[in-house]
Structure 1
Amino acid sequence: MNVRTPPSLLDLAESSLLRNEALAISALDSLPRELFPALFMKAFYRRRSQTLKAMVQAWPFVRLPLGGLKDMARVRVGRPIQAVLEGVDVLLAQKVRPSCIPVNLLFPHRGCNLQVLDLRSTGQNFWIMWSGSSDDVYSRSQMAPVAEVRSRPKQPVAPLDVFIDLCLKKRTLDHFTTYLLSWVEQRRISIHLCCKKLKISAMPMENIMKVLAQVQLDCIQEVQVNCTWQLSTLATFAPLLGQMINVQRLSLSHIHGSALEEKEQQHVVQILSQFLRLHHLRDLYMDSPVFLKGHLDQMLRSLRNPLDNLIITHCQLTESDLTHLSQWPYISRLKGLDLSGITLTQFTPDLQVLLEEVASNLEELNLEQCGITDSQLEAILPALSRCSQLRTISLCGNLLSMAIMEKLLSHTARLSSLKEEFYPAPRESFSSSGALHLGRLAQLKAQLIEMMRGFGGPRTIWLSSSPCPRWGNKTFYHEEPFLYHCYTPA
C-alpha cells in the first residue's frame, strides 16, 4: 500500500495564497524573501497574472531569471510573461526609487531590488534551489538582495537591464521577440536591452539593423554570423560590429567575394577598420573567407591585441600570407591554431617556421585536410615536438603512410600534455581506387598499438578514414595505450 506524502506547511500556504489573489498580493509586505521564488513559480505556472504583476514590484532579489523559469514551463507562457512586463512597467513609472528604510528588519526586501530581468535560457538552478530541491550556496549568493542601506536620499530610477540571447535564424522574428522589442522601443530611456550572444544565420540586413538598433551593442560578447554574405553585405554590417567593443569571440562564415577588384578592396578596408576597435577579442573564427587570399596581412595589422584562438579554414592562402602570419607580433601568444581545409602542400618552410613561433603556448593544433605529405610532415616533426603545451592535435584528412605515422607517434609520445590525437588511417589501408580495407586497417592498427607499448603512459588516439572524427562519436580512454578507429561509411 502506497502512503502519500502529506503536503508541507509551505505547500499549503502557497496553495491558500494562490486560491485568493487579493490575499496573496496583500501578504507580500510580510512575506519572507525565501518564499518569493516558490510562490512566483506556482503563480507563473498557474497563470496568476495579478499576483505575478504584484510580485515583480516587490521582488527582493537583484535578478529575476525569468528565462530559466520559462524554459522549465510546459505550458504556454505568453500571458505570464506579459504580466511580468506589466509589473516592470509599474516600477518604471515611479519617478524615484522608494527609500530603503525597512519597516521590519526581518523583511528587508521592502522596496523592489530588481535591477536585471534575465530572459536567457539560464537560471534553472535558482528556481530549483529556492523550491527546496537543492542547497546551492553559490546560487544563493548570486541572487542575494541589494545591500541594505538604512537611509538613502531619493534618486532617479536607474535603467533596468533586460538580458536576452538573440538568434536571428529566420527572415522574421518570432512572436515573443517581436513583442519584447516593441516593448523595449517604447521604453528606451528606462530599459537597457543587453545581449551577450548574437547569432545570425538567416535574416535580411535591413531587419538585422532594425533589431540591433534596440540593443546595447557594447554588451555583446559573442557574435556568430553563419550566412552566405557578399563582402558588400559584411561591409554594411561592419559599423555595427565596430560598436560591439566588448566582443570576445567573433565567428564569420561563408563570406564571398575576392579583394581583387578596387570596389571589393574598399569593402575589405571598411570591414577590417572595425577590427581595430575590438580590443577584447580573444577568439577569431573565419570559415571560407575568400577575400583573405593575399590580404591576410591587412587583417593581422587590424588585430592590435593578442588572441587565444585563431581559426581560418577552407580558403586559399598564399605563401606571403603564411609568412605574415609567422611574423605577426602576437603569434607566440596563440593557444589554438586551426588552418583546416587550407592547402599547405607547397608551404613546408613556412609551416615549419609557423610551428616554431607558436610552440611555446600552443594547446590545440588543427591541420585537417591540408594536403600534408609524408616529406612535409617529417620536416615539421622537430618543430611539432617543441609544442610542449599541446593538448589536442588533428591531422585527419591528410594522406600519410604507415612509416610516417610511426615516426609521428614516436614524436607525439614526448608531449606530456597531449590528451587527444586525431590521425588519418594510414595510406596502406586503402586500395588504389581509394576503397578502405578494414582487414588491412586492423592489422596496421595492431602494429601501431604494439609499437606504442614501449612509449609508456595511456593515450587517447583516434584513427579515422573520415576528415573529422571528433564530432558525434565517443572518445575511448583505456588504461593502456589504445588506438581507436572511427569508420564513417562512404
Structure 2
Amino acid sequence: MWSRASSYGCSSSRMAQETESRSTTKQHLAPLKVFIDLCLKEKTLDNFLTYFLWWVEQRKSSIHLCCKKLKIISMPMDNIVKVLSKVQLDCIQEVQVSCTWNLSTLATFAPFLGEMCNLQRLVLFPIHVSAFKKQEEHHIVQITSQFLKLGHLRDLHLGSPSFLEGHLDQMLSCWLTESDLTHLCQNPDISQLKSLDLSGVSMTDFHPELLQVLLEKVAATLQELDFDVCGITDSQLEAFLPALSLCSQLRSFSLCGNLLSTAEMEKLLRHTAVLPCLRQERYPAPQETYRPQGVPLEARLAQLRAQLLEILRDLGRPRIIWISLSPCPRCGEAVCHHMEPIVYSCPSPA
C-alpha cells in the first residue's frame, strides 16, 4: 500500500517522478485475492452479499473474488448467476447443491460448473426429470459436456442419476485413471466379471502390465471385451496378449480405433485363434494402411485384407473378423463400422 505521507518541500519535478513511479508500480501489482465461502440459502440476496458484490464489481480490475466451497440451499437461478459471474470459478474446489433442480435449471448451471476446472467434490441432490425425457435430451447433452471438463473431480454424489441413463459414458469416459484400474484389479469380485467396456478411455500412458493383470483376473468368466479408441499401443497389446488367450469364455472382442502395426495384428490373430467361444472380432486397420495425414490407402487396405485372410488359412479355423478404419471416411465418427468382414471357412473334406 502506498503511504499518503505529506511531501512538503518537494519540487514539482520530483513530485511528477514519484507520481509516475507510483502509477507504474500500481500497474504491476497482482490483483488482490479475497476469499469467501458462499452459502446461498435465501431466495433473495441479503444486504451484505448485495453490497459485497457491488464492492467487488467496483474494483474488478484489482480484486479477484475467490471461493473454495460453494453451497446452494435455496436461491433462484438468476441470483445464482449474479453471484457466480463475480467469482473466480477456477478457485472453487467443492460444490454442494441441496435443493431439487430440474434438468433445465441444471443445464443453466452447467456452463459455470464447466469453468470450475479445479473442482474436487460435487454433491447434487435429486434432479427432477420430466416424464417426457426425450424432449430434454439437449439439456442432458449440455450437462454431460461440461462434466468432461472436470479433470480434478474425485468425489461425486448424485442423488438420482437416472437422468444419465444412456449418457454415463459421455460424462465419465475420460475420468478413469491408472489408479482406478489398479483398484478395479484388486476388487475381490472382479473374478466374476462377464462384460468389460472401457471404450473411449485413454490408456496410452498406462503401464502395459496393468492390462495383463486385469485380464488374468477375469479370464475364467469374461465374455465381452471392448477396448475401442483407448490409445492402446503395440507394447501394451504385446503385454496382455498372453492373458487375452486365457479368456476361454470370450465371445466378443473389439479393439477398433487403436493404432497398431501389421506385425502386432498378426500376433493378435494367432493368440485369439485358441479361444473356442470367440465369434465376433473387430480390429483396427494397422498404421501401414494410412497416409501420414491419416487418409486410408485403398491399395494397402486391399493388400492387408489378403494378408490377414492368408493368416486365417494358416491357422486353419473358421473365423469372421471385421477391420475398421479410424476415423470413418463416410461420417467422421471415431470408428468406421461399414467395412466388409474378412471371412474364412475351412474347406470341406473331400
TM-score by length of 2: 0.52
Name the amino acid aligned to 1:289: M
2:350 maps to 1:468: no
Deviations along 1:195-222, one digit per CA (max 9) or x if unpaired, are xxxxxxxxx954899xxxxxxxxxxxxx
Deviations along 1:172-192, one digit per CA (max 9) or x if unpaired, are xxxxxxxxxxxxxxxxxxxxx
Match of 2:204 in 1: 345
| Cα distance in 2 for residues equivalent to 1:337 and 1:425 | 22
2:329 maps to 1:329: no
Native 8 Å contact 1:378 1:404 kept in 2: yes
Name the amino acid aligned to 2:203: L
Secondary structure class of the residue paired with 1:340:
coil
Which gives a bigger RCO, structure 1 or 2 (Cα 8 Å, sep 6+)? 2
Q: Which runs of 5+ in 1 are unaligned?
A: 1-203, 210-226, 241-250, 291-313, 482-490
**Superposed displacement of residue 239, structure 1:** 9.2
Residues 87-236 of structure 1: pairs in structure 2 closer than 5 A: 206=102, 230=110, 235-236=124-125
| Cα distance in 1 for residues equivalent to 2:307 and 2:252 | 23
Match of 2:222 in 1: 362
Structure 1 residues 474 and 397, CA gap change in structure 2 (3 angstroms): closer
| Cα distance in 2 for residues equivalent to 1:456 and 1:234 | 56
Aligned to 2:174, which of 315, 331, 337? 315
Structure 1 residues 438 and 332, CA gap change in structure 2 (3 angstroms): same
**Superposed displacement of residue 259, structure 1:** 7.8
Deviations along 1:415-448, one digit per CA (max 9) or x if unpaired, are 1100111111111111222221111111121111
2:337 maps to 1:455: no
Aligned to 2:246, which of 369, 386, 389? 386
Match of 1:163 in 2: none
Structure 1 residues 289 and 330, CA gap change in structure 2 (3 angstroms): farther
Match of 2:168 in 1: 286
Match of 2:5 in 1: none
Native 8 Å contact 1:367 1:395 kept in 2: yes
Name the amino acid aligned to 1:288: Q
2:175 maps to 1:269: no
Residues 235-274 of structure 1: pairs in structure 2 closer than 5 A: 235-237=124-126, 254=144, 256-257=146-147, 258=150, 260=152, 265=155, 268-271=156-159
Match of 1:429 in 2: 289
Structure 1 residues 333 and 449, CA gap change in structure 2 (3 angstroms): same
Secondary structure class of the residue paired with 2:125:
helix
Number of matched pairs:
214
Structure 1 residues 409 and 207, CA gap change in structure 2 (3 angstroms): closer
**Superposed displacement of residue 255, structure 1:** 6.4
Native 8 Å contact 1:422 1:469 kept in 2: no
| Cα distance in 2 for residues equivalent to 1:259 and 1:370 | 17
Residues 11-160 of structure 1: pairs in structure 2 closer than 5 A: none
| Cα distance in 2 for residues equivalent to 1:229 and 1:406 | 50
2:345 maps to 1:480: yes
Deviations along 1:382-405, one digit per CA (max 9) or x if unpaired, are 111111111111111101111000
Match of 1:35 in 2: none
TM-score by length of 1: 0.38
**Superposed displacement of residue 476, structure 1:** 5.2
| Cα distance in 2 for residues equivalent to 1:459 and 1:422 | 12
Match of 1:410 in 2: 270
Secondary structure class of the residue paired with 1:351:
helix
| Cα distance in 1 for residues equivalent to 2:315 and 2:245 | 15
| Cα distance in 1 for residues equivalent to 2:188 and 2:340 | 36
Name the amino acid aligned to 2:199: S
Q: Which runs of 5+ in 2 are unaligned?
A: 1-99, 114-120, 130-139, 327-333
Runs of 4+ in structure 1 deviating by more than 4 angstroms, as ranges, are 227-234, 473-479
What fraction of aligned residue pairs are identical, expressed as a percent?
Answer: 47
Deviations along 1:142-194, one digit per CA (max 9) or x if unpaired, are xxxxxxxxxxxxxxxxxxxxxxxxxxxxxxxxxxxxxxxxxxxxxxxxxxxxx
**Superposed displacement of residue 379, structure 1:** 0.6
**Superposed displacement of residue 288, structure 1:** 2.9
Kindly report the root-mean-square deviation, in angstroms, between the aligned alpha carbons of the 2 structures: 3.7
| Cα distance in 1 for residues equivalent to 2:103 and 2:204 | 43
Native 8 Å contact 2:123 2:157 kept in 1: no
| Cα distance in 1 for residues equivalent to 2:231 and 2:122 | 32
Name the amino acid aligned to 1:335: K
| Cα distance in 2 for residues equivalent to 1:320 and 1:228 | 33
**Superposed displacement of residue 316, structure 1:** 3.3
Native 8 Å contact 1:460 1:475 kept in 2: no
